[in-house]
Structure 1
Amino acid sequence: MHIGLNLVFLVPGHTGGMEVAARELLPALVAAAPDVRFTAFVNREAAAADGPWHDTMPSVTVPVHASNRVEWVRGEQVLLPRLARRAGVDLVHSLGSTGPGWGPFAKVVTVHDLIYKHFPEAHFGLRSLGMRVLVPLAARRSDRVIADSQATRDDLIELLDIPSSRIDVVPLAARPPRVTPAPEAALRGRLGLGDRLIVLSTSAKRPHKNLRRLLEAHALLPAPRPLLVLPGYPTEHEGELRDLAAQLGVGDDVRFLGWLEEEDVEGLLGAAACVAFPSLYEGFGLPVLEAMLRDVPVVCSARSSLAEVAGDAALLIDPEDPASIADAVGRVLSDASLARDLVVRGRAQAARFSWQATAEGCLSTYRRVLSA
């Protein structure tokens, strides 16, 4: 069995949770199936960067820069099928929700979410158009579709009319720590965090992540408030969030930190008294499990996939109600017994997910397709 892995979408450092999933899945696949031949198909950006597509398997460079959306589409829809045919793969697994619509090989696509259906404003310009066209194309022309969660499976059935018999649910898992966390005292000093309790939200600054209501909830907490820390690359939406924080009178209680190195993110997780994840929609919600794996209590939206990922190990909130968010955060910060219980439950919940299980689920899908 020769499996091609479509990573043409992956621009290192710019692809979010899909990049995390790909980086974790590739070595897990190789470990779970040493008898299977894998070939990774990568763009020029990934070819020039470190990654498991070099370390664990042979790779083929699709000669496009995927940071250019037109080039990405050309690479995936025109060049990849030719290169995969030349490499002699039996099946191409596309890991980024889109995939080639043709080619003399079997096809599997992992659709992480249908956010473009629920929140069209989450993507802009050509990417938005691409999602509307390419995700349905990949889902309908693939032999089987993998969904990260039951919620995404339900969306595929309801919104794209994909038969349930063609969908396999294969959950992801938490990314384990791979670096030494930055020391807390030095980190607090360097980032200007002082000595206050930290509420951390590792969400992209996009409207569906619901940071507006998190700010509104923060304003409802009694003074002296904890410090709300919002790392992550800047977006157009960040300006609106900064303005809102000022209007609410909590500008001094919020830190917009920009993009951070992994050591600093791990250090923030180690320093946080609570992780708040109030998203309105997620295909899976990796930050929830990652916080639990690091023994941080979690306050989490009950929407989409998040309730099934969090289980009974987080305080679930109504993400459209700032009072609900504020109440849950306040409870975690003021009740040490509750916080300890959430840590214990979270550790057990995170342990229910593993990249080995994710790899075995994908391999089961490959065998099912090829045996048919």
Structure 2
Amino acid sequence: MKLGIDLRCLPQDGSPGAGIAHAARAITQQLCAQQELETVCYVPVGASHPVTSTATNIVELKRRRRKSLMDAITRHSCDLLFVPSGAVTPALPVPAVPWVHDVDIYFHPEWFPQPWYKRILTTRLFLHGVQSAPLIFCVSEYTKQMLLQLARIPPERIVVTGEGGSGSLDSISDTEIQQAKQDAAMRLQEQGIQQPYVLAFGTVEPRKNIPFITDLWTSMGELRQGYDLIIAGKDGWKMQQIEPSIKRAAEASHEYGCALVRLREQTEAMKQDLLLGATLVVTPSLSEGFGLVPLEAAQARTPVIISNRGALPEVMGDGPWCLDLGDPDAWRLLLSELLMQPELRADFQRRQYEVAKQWNWEGTGRVVLDRIQQLF
């Protein structure tokens, strides 16, 4: 069997991209490493892809449009197309299997920047793609259940894969982790990050709920003394709703010897350093289809506080670090306790790292490969 992989979700400027691009590279690397599988990847010109094996055929697409993909499949055929973005192009000459990350746009269109007419078109095309697929992969049980609410799809056609976080962070042994954290701190100091910090990471857009954490941070007063708040991630959409809260928190930070630091551009290496170097990671998301950032924080042995929304409890466990967004006092209390109590941070590190061990890209790749092979 020859498996095609549609990698049009990768940015053409060669940048790492956001969560879906990260996941697409990781799963592609796993699938292309399988000796029993012949693979062909359809990749936009300029995109950074993970394939190094000469056994995989790389077909470059001049454009990310449907016609470019159709022409490429005609010239370099496959038996089945795997679509890591989840968005299946209509009327393909081969069956296609999507990998669905979230369906938030159907339940909360206000979180997204598309005008109504474009949203109707893209959502209808997406639903057509999943309804006509012989098999559907979802990154979490949460996403599967939300998809079942949307479409009349037999549950047995939907397979939960999980994701794997950061292979490089996960590979750091218990004996190496402290040195890795010290090395990361030194590299960050060279970048001007001198003070201990709390980290919020991800594209800044409504689902990340940045105003919640900036308002919470401001309300902590002297409890945050000696710590900076770093908001790392490129500007997303609907920034006019988010920037005022960031500005207010930045103005209020200096009175206690701390700062709000906004980092819009990071390499993958700097992202890992930020996760390794943080005192604490906070993820107060309104929804997550999976939750790569808290998983990667746990792999970096950095404690994390998460909201109880979306797939976050599924990925990180429903422990004392999983809080209701309707109770900011609980967030304020736990955040202050973690900043003041190293032993509590160590307890969270240990317990969350054990939870994180259940997720790895090898397992995700095996689930995808096994179910695809069953189709043939």
Do they superpose with TM above 0.5?
A: yes
User: Do 2:223 and 2:336's aligned partners in 1 also have CA atoms closer than 8 Å?
Assistant: no
The 3-state SS of whatever aligns with 1:102 is coil
Instruction: Report 1:71-90 matches (<5 A).
Output: 74-75=65-66, 78-90=67-79
Listed one character per residue, the Cα deviations across residues 178-234 of structure 1 (whole Å, up to 9, x for unaligned) are 79887424523633x442x31101121101111111111112224151311001112
Residue 312 of structure 2 corresponds to residue 306 of structure 1: yes
Going from structure 1 to structure 2, the CA distance change for 1:299 and 1:87 (only over 3 Å counts) comes to same
**Superposition deviation, residue 354 in structure 1:** 1.1
User: Do 1:174 and 1:353's aligned partners in 2 also have CA atoms closer than 8 Å?
Assistant: yes
In structure 2, the residue matched to 1:52 is 51
Matched length:
355
Going from structure 1 to structure 2, the CA distance change for 1:259 and 1:115 (only over 3 Å counts) comes to same
Identity of aligned residues (%): 23
Residue 13 of structure 2 corresponds to residue 24 of structure 1: no
**Superposition deviation, residue 50 in structure 1:** 5.1
User: Do 1:201 and 1:231's aligned partners in 2 also have CA atoms closer than 8 Å?
Assistant: yes
Going from structure 1 to structure 2, the CA distance change for 1:177 and 1:129 (only over 3 Å counts) comes to farther
In structure 1, the residue matched to 2:176 is none
Matching residue's letter, 1:132: T
In structure 2, the residue matched to 1:8 is 8
In structure 2, the residue matched to 1:243 is 244
Instruction: Report 1:172-321 matches (<5 A).
Output: 172-177=163-168, 183-188=184-189, 190-191=191-192, 193-195=193-195, 197-225=196-224, 226-235=227-236, 237-238=238-239, 240-247=241-248, 250-252=252-254, 253-312=259-318, 315-321=321-327
Q: 2:114 aligns with which of 125, 128, 138?
A: 125
Going from structure 1 to structure 2, the CA distance change for 1:131 and 1:286 (only over 3 Å counts) comes to farther
Deviates more, 1:109-118 or 1:231-240: 231-240
Deviates more, 1:145-154 or 1:179-188: 179-188
Going from structure 1 to structure 2, the CA distance change for 1:13 and 1:54 (only over 3 Å counts) comes to farther
Give distance in 1, aligned partners of 2:319 and 2:129.
35
Going from structure 1 to structure 2, the CA distance change for 1:56 and 1:338 (only over 3 Å counts) comes to farther
**Superposition deviation, residue 359 in structure 1:** 0.6
In structure 2, the residue matched to 1:69 is none
Matching residue's letter, 2:230: V
In structure 2, the residue matched to 1:338 is 344
Give distance in 2, aligned partners of 1:50 and 1:149.
24
Deviates more, 1:176-185 or 1:331-340: 176-185
In structure 2, the residue matched to 1:70 is none
In structure 1, the residue matched to 2:40 is 39
Q: 2:131 aligns with which of 136, 140, 143?
A: 140
Matching residue's letter, 1:19: A
Going from structure 1 to structure 2, the CA distance change for 1:236 and 1:110 (only over 3 Å counts) comes to closer
Q: TM-score, normalised by structure 1?
A: 0.87
Give distance in 2, aligned partners of 1:175 and 1:314.
24
Q: 2:328 aligns with which of 317, 322, 328?
A: 322
Give distance in 2, aligned partners of 1:286 and 1:161.
28
Residue 371 of structure 2 corresponds to residue 365 of structure 1: yes
**Superposition deviation, residue 275 in structure 1:** 0.5
**Superposition deviation, residue 240 in structure 1:** 4.4
Q: 1:115 aligns with which of 104, 109, 117?
A: 104
Give distance in 2, aligned partners of 1:156 and 1:203.
24
Going from structure 1 to structure 2, the CA distance change for 1:55 and 1:242 (only over 3 Å counts) comes to farther
Deviates more, 1:153-162 or 1:314-323: 314-323
**Structure 1 unpaired stretches of 5+:** 67-73
Going from structure 1 to structure 2, the CA distance change for 1:320 and 1:61 (only over 3 Å counts) comes to farther
Going from structure 1 to structure 2, the CA distance change for 1:183 and 1:247 (only over 3 Å counts) comes to closer
Give distance in 2, aligned partners of 1:314 and 1:81.
49
Give distance in 1, aligned partners of 2:276 and 2:125.
39
User: Do 2:103 and 2:146's aligned partners in 1 also have CA atoms closer than 8 Å?
Assistant: yes
Matching residue's letter, 2:92: G
Give distance in 2, aligned partners of 1:357 and 1:84.
28
The 3-state SS of whatever aligns with 1:174 is coil
Going from structure 1 to structure 2, the CA distance change for 1:262 and 1:274 (only over 3 Å counts) comes to same
Matching residue's letter, 1:149: S
Give distance in 2, aligned partners of 1:15 and 1:122.
19
User: Do 1:242 and 1:251's aligned partners in 2 also have CA atoms closer than 8 Å?
Assistant: no
Q: TM-score, normalised by structure 2?
A: 0.86
Going from structure 1 to structure 2, the CA distance change for 1:235 and 1:101 (only over 3 Å counts) comes to closer
Give distance in 2, aligned partners of 1:207 and 1:96.
20
